[in-house]
Amino acid sequence: MFKSSWLPLAPALGEVLLLSKASNAKRRQLVVGNWKMNGSLNENAGLLAKIAAGWHGAHNADVVICPPFPYLMHTQNALLGSAVVLGAQTVNEHAKGAYTGEVSASMLADLDCKFVIIGHNERRRMQHESDLQVAQKFEAVQKAGLTPILCVGESLEDREQGKHLETISRQLNIVFAHTGKDVFDNAVLAYEPVWAVGTGKTATPEQAEEVHKFMRSQLGVLADSIRILYGGSVKAHNARQLFALADIDGALLGGASLDADEFLAICKAAE
Ligand code: PEP
């Protein structure tokens, strides 16, 4: 009943590997809007109408919107027939039970969510989600047939002490240890330096490339096919420069996803 017209257009892993070897083509780009705890039925209706009318799909880019839980169904209905896909901002790691206020991955699948953000730094910091819990959520999302968008990123302190790769390695390794690396063929990674999220500061192209390349190098056989997004104050004015980098495959957006013109400009920069 809630099925959208969206179909996963990404080629299979083997095809991607062949493609990148043959033509050195970039991976399919992905732009994800994380609305966080913003919006109302009225505001969302206007925003969604503009986005659905302004994004007609692209052969090389996907667009996802992650509204707050209460608006998932309204968003799904507003996006019906459009090329924009539904996602969620978090999930509980358990399948069901006495977890008051929580939402399971199968509930998100019922509402036709395709992607779920996991391990966003606001949840790690404010809701005290541990690395292990993030790994369990990652697994729960995949078991429900959805695609996790696993966020990792260092604090300002880590960055200043030159420990950024160590932190990212720890955050990735706990998920690798929990699920194995082969399941990352159905996953997206997002590098979100904590000091750049919602602050107006963006990682320099060199800083972003260093980390994306490092993350890719941790994925073994999937290194060339996994999509790695950058997140941290991406706006229309800096998106094109970031997307041009070899190892950046799109963006996870906070603030910029709440403004239809800004959001659409970023989606178009990903094409
Ligand atoms: C985010 O919350 O994931 C994010 C990247 O936010 P912003 O774009 O506002 O920095």
Question: 150 pLDDT exceeds 60?
Answer: yes
Cα 252 to Cα 233: distance, rounded to the nearest angstrom: 9
Integer angstrom CA distances of residue 193 from 158, 202, 211, 235, 241: 10, 9, 10, 16, 18
Cα 101 to Cα 92: distance, rounded to the nearest angstrom: 10
197 in contact with ligand 1, CB cutoff 6 A: yes
For residues 146-151, average pLDDT? 98
Catalytically annotated residue among 122, 154, 192, 262: 192
For this structure, is 192 an active site residue? yes
266 in contact with ligand 1, CB cutoff 6 A: no
The DSSP code for 197 is: T
Task: List Cβ neighbours of 100 (8 Å cut-off, separation of 6 or more).
Answer: none
| Residue 23: pLDDT band with limits 50, 70, 90 | very low
256 in contact with ligand 1, CB cutoff 6 A: yes
pLDDT, position 25: 59
| Partner residues linked to 169 by β-bridges | none
What atom in ligand 1 is closest to the CA of residue 235?
A: 8
* Radius of gyration in angstroms for the set of CA atoms belonging to the chain, rounded to a whole number: 17
For residues 46-65, average pLDDT? 96
pTM: 0.91
* Listed residue (185, 194, 183, 180) closest to 151, CA to CA: 194
67 in contact with ligand 1, CB cutoff 6 A: no
With tokens 């505001």, the residue in question is 43
* Listed residue (181, 121, 126) closest to 154, CA to CA: 121
Tell me how far the alpha carbon of residue 83 lies from the centroid of ligand 1, in angstroms. 22
Cα 52 to Cα 131: distance, rounded to the nearest angstrom: 35
Phi and psi of 199, rounded to 5°?
-105, -10
Tell me how far the alpha carbon of residue 251 lies from the centroid of ligand 1, in angstroms. 9
> What share of the chain in percent tops pLDDT 90?
89
Instruction: Tell me how many degrees the CA angle 39-42-47 measures, rounded to the nearest 5.
Output: 65
pLDDT, position 20: 37
For residues 199-226, average pLDDT? 94
Catalytically annotated residue among 120, 122, 129, 139: 120
252 in contact with ligand 1, CB cutoff 6 A: yes
| Residue 26: pLDDT band with limits 50, 70, 90 | confident
What atom in ligand 1 is closest to the CA of residue 234?
A: 8
